[in-house]
A and B are shown apart, each in its own frame.
Chain A
Amino acid sequence: MAGSFRDAAAWLLKQLRLPLMIVALLLGLAMAAIPVVIRALDDVVDKSLNHDIAWTGQNGRSELYDLARAVIAAEEDFNAEARMRIELALDIMFSRLDTWQAGVFGQFVNSSPQRKALLDRITAQFGEFERDIRNPDFERQLPELRRKILVLETAIDELASQAYDFYQHNKAGYSAELRFLQRVHNIITLSLIVISVLLILVLYWNNCSLEKSYGVQRLIAQENAYLATFDMLTGLSNRKSFMGALERAIFDLPPGHTIVVVAIDLDGFKPINDVLGHKAGDALLAEIGARLTRFSAAQRWAKSARFGGDEFMVMLVLEAEFPAIEALVQVLHETLREPLRIDDHFLTVDATMGLSLLREQSLAAEELVHRADLALTTGKMEGKARRTLFDEAMLSRTLNRGRLEIELNEANLEDEIEPVYQPIVDLPTRRIIGVEALVRWRHPIRGVVLPSDFIPAAESSGKITEIGRIMLEHACRDATRFPQPIAVSVNLSPVQLMRMDVAESVGRALARSGLAPDRLKLEITESVMLQDSRGTQALMRRLQAQGVTVSLDDFGTGYSSLSYLRSFPFNELKIDRAFLSEIGEDQQAAGIVQIILLLARELNMNVVAEGIEQEEQAATLMALGCARGQGYLFGRPMGFDEICQCLRQQTPPPMGAVA
């Protein structure tokens, strides 16, 4: 909408450009015309105010009367004074003639030949008077002079009246011209006013549209600010604004309050994304975002953010002790766990959460988030779908991992990596029918290091393939030396499967040790199939062609898709310990185990129940028809010598009892 307005405004502006130019041109013309008109006006005013030639004419008459009077006075009493008076009057008269011949009056006289002739006649007459005055018998000629002057009066009257008419006529012309020029002036002034009004209107319109476009710009700026602060998909804050809010919260932390940072990772988001598509994945993230927004909105002081992928971060500022905090985080966890509907699928996602707390301003926001992340990572390693509170040991463990990576690189793995063996028994007879080889690192200084401690370091350092090869060869070698020809199971981690040629390594280990291939079992987890199902399928067929059996480890904890069981030719299922712990009390757990057993029988697979610790569990499993078990009840993981001793203690199996 903002865009269309801008387009319209731009179009209108374009349309206005030509009229504006025309208006500007008119304005220029009007402005150029004003001085011309004003000068013309000035000229006319000047002319109309010019010297009054009518008056000059009239003055000539009065000067002529003065001369006449001087002559009359001389007739009555002729003396030097009277003579001088005549001479002066004559001089003045000559001066008048001079005035009439030059300047403005001269122009008036010269504009008509008759007038010129008239003035010439008058001038000539005065010339005669001058000669007469010099005459010795001037006194006697005075009456004659008076008569001539009276005659001249007519001529001067004529000239004066003509000047008067001329002046009056000109005056009329001037006023007509004045009126015309004033009209032109008025028109120009009026058009200037109109143009000004037009320009003011355009300016006003332009101003309004500027204001609007400023508003549009402001909207865009707000949008951009939103994008810079918020995650588009979920509407939650992004990492940057979350960190800002956390920093402020730490700065403003009131006494007695606790800042809780919860790092959240969705369990099972990736398969949903893979199976149902990115759109569904996005819808799921949006829904989780909406739930987090609702949860945060219900708190007095909280903020939720998406840090990327399926990782979220929630900040809570609470005036509460840990049990209350834990209770609130549990509410959050339950909120996220609620089933959700994406398109036509009802899904449940769980979340793993890592918590870090801050009671005083002792940590930076980055550190607090890092600690929550660390707790989250620990929780994921411990089996997901759980809430883990940060503790200092996690920091040292992380530090440890770096150190372990270095030490793994320097270690003599051939000697230091060795398997321990946990018995797998036939439940009814409790005879050991196989062992699972578990990796240990016999560290020269640390002592025995458990896989949970060094496998992450081995995976990140790339030593995992070497360890896998050593384990495989070592286990095969050991198996050939067992007192009884029982099977040995070796775990293959997803990383091993990705990075090493398993079929070749297995073939070499079998060949070097001379172990019968049917005594080797390889255990893989579901996650392997999720990552590269085709490759895994092919690998399984190659291994099985070599005579090796493949078992599916930790069955029941992941996605446990029935289609995997159909498309992957497993020889054995290992039911995860999670079901076993509940099998005594929980009817449903027992039911699930029973179904797994039925399914395995139908698909021609053996089943091993893991994690059996109590006799009741063993009894229940047997009652359900499970033939094989593994767990502390039957034996902990033990060294080669120890397992050999156990095997020697039991009577040899009846013929053909080996799986």
Chain B
Amino acid sequence: MTTRRGIISAGFAGFLLLANLSLAPAQDVAARSTAQPVVLTISGPGGGASHDLTMADLEKLPKAEIRTTTPWHNGVQHFEGVSLQALMESLKLSGANAQVTALNRYRTTIPMKDFSEFKPILAYRRNGAPMEVREKGPLFIIYPYDSNTALKHDTYFSRSAWQVRSITVE
């Protein structure tokens, strides 16, 4: 287990370099490798200011929890993370849609009103532990599927992006 974890951490660092090539201006890689890694980049509409957030930044925000079954896991899962609505409010971002891009180049568009209507979260822990890339981590958009049958639908399953890397508000 420990070895695997090492590889993943290393993979993370590499990924961050790759990802930043396109998402953000060139950064001091050496400086970044010593500091907390950026896990999420959120940019405002019209190419406005972008926010690079570390896991610590996210954990500072009020924690939200969802207990639900999903199509990708067996049994009820306990997700902890930050409410997407609260996250957007904290960054004072608003718009019609949020364009989500994942590490596996998966892209999905979530209407911003979903955030207030269904209260989905950007989960960073599953069953009490941080999620690795192999476990669809580090960030996973989770809707409370069990509490609203309307959410048990491909529309919302397809909005539930895992391995989330960036969100662009449009």
Contacts and interface: CB of A to CB of B under 8 A. Distances in A.
Given A94-B134, A133-B7, A80 B14 contact: yes
Interface stretch (B52-60, B82-90, B99-107): B99-107
A71 to B, nearest CB: 14
Interface in A55-99: 59, 62-63, 66, 80-81, 83-85, 87-88, 90-92, 94-96, 98-99
A474 B49 CA distance: 152
B74 A91 contact: no
B132 interface: yes
A66 B104 contact: yes
A221 B12 CA distance: 99
A88 B18 contact: yes
B11 interface: yes
A104 B71 CA distance: 5
Contact of A84 (B17, B135, B136): B17
Contact of B132 (A42, A91, A96): A91
B117 interface: no
A223 interface: no
B109 interface: no
A76 to B, nearest CB: 16
Contacts of A133: 7
B11 A91 contact: yes
A49 B154 contact: yes
A98 B134 contact: yes
B74 A92 contact: no
B136 A87 contact: no
Contacts, number: 94
B124 interface: no
The residue in B104, B153, B157 that gathers the most chain A C-beta atoms within 10 A of its C-beta is B104
Contacts of A63: 104
Contacts of B103: 88, 92
A113 interface: no
Contacts of A59: 104, 106
Contacts of A81: 14, 17-18
A102 B106 contact: no
Contacts of B26: none
Contacts of A103: 70-74
Contacts of B74: 102-103, 106
A378 B22 CA distance: 136
Nearest to B134: A94
Nearest to B152: A46
Contacts of B4: 130
Nearest to B6: A134
Nearest to B13: A84
A84 B133 CA distance: 13
A52 interface: yes
A95 B154 CA distance: 20
B61 interface: no
A617 B135 CA distance: 154
A50 interface: yes
Interface residues of A, number: 33
A49 B14 CA distance: 38
A648 interface: no
Contact of B133 (A83, A91, A130): A91
A46 B150 CA distance: 9
A617 B12 CA distance: 163
A388 to B, nearest CB: 102
A99 B72 contact: yes
B71 A50 contact: yes
A601 interface: no
Contacts of B14: 80-81, 83-85, 87-88
Interface in A140-170: none
A50 B154 contact: yes
Interface string A623-657: 00000000000000000000000000000000000
A102 B72 contact: yes
B23 interface: no
B71 A95 contact: no
A105 B70 CA distance: 11
A51 interface: yes
Contacts of B162: 95
Contact of A98 (B3, B17, B136): B136
B23 to A, nearest CB: 15
B15 interface: yes
A49 B153 contact: yes
A51 B134 CA distance: 20
B136 A99 contact: yes
Nearest to B157: A51
Contacts of B24: none
B129 interface: no
Contacts of A42: 149
B10 interface: yes
B10 A87 contact: yes
Contact of B134 (A50, A91, A104, A105): A91
A95 B18 contact: no
B8 interface: yes
Interface string B42-85: 00000000000000000000000000001111100000000000
B8 A91 contact: yes
Contacts of A85: 14-15, 18
A1 B72 CA distance: 80
Contact of B104 (A46, A87, A92): A92
A96 B135 CA distance: 9
Nearest to B160: A51
A133 B14 CA distance: 15
Contacts of B73: 102-103
A63 B135 CA distance: 15
A62 B107 CA distance: 13
B161 to A, nearest CB: 12
A14 B136 CA distance: 72
Nearest to B9: A87
A98 B135 contact: yes
Given A63-B104, A84-B14, A88-B15, A95 B157 contact: no
Contacts of B168: none
Nearest to B16: A84
Contacts of B11: 84, 87-88, 90-91
Nearest to B104: A92
Nearest to B136: A95
Contacts of B13: 84
26 contacts: A49-B153, A50-B71, A50-B152, A51-B154, A62-B105, A66-B104, A81-B17, A84-B11, A84-B13, A84-B17, A85-B14, A87-B8, A88-B133, A91-B7, A91-B133, A91-B134, A92-B133, A94-B133, A95-B104, A95-B136, A95-B162, A98-B134, A104-B72, A105-B72, A106-B74, A130-B7
Given A51-B71, A85-B18, 8 more contacts: A51-B72, A62-B105, A81-B18, A87-B8, A92-B103, A92-B104, A95-B162, A105-B71
Interface of A: 42, 46, 49-52, 59, 62-63, 66, 80-81, 83-85, 87-88, 90-92, 94-96, 98-99, 102-106, 130, 133-134
User: 10 smallest A-B Cβ distances: which pairs?
Assistant: A84-B14, A87-B11, A51-B71, A91-B133, A94-B134, A103-B72, A104-B71, A88-B15, A88-B11, A92-B104
Interface of B: 3-4, 7-8, 10-15, 17-18, 70-74, 103-106, 132-136, 149, 152-154, 157-158, 162-163
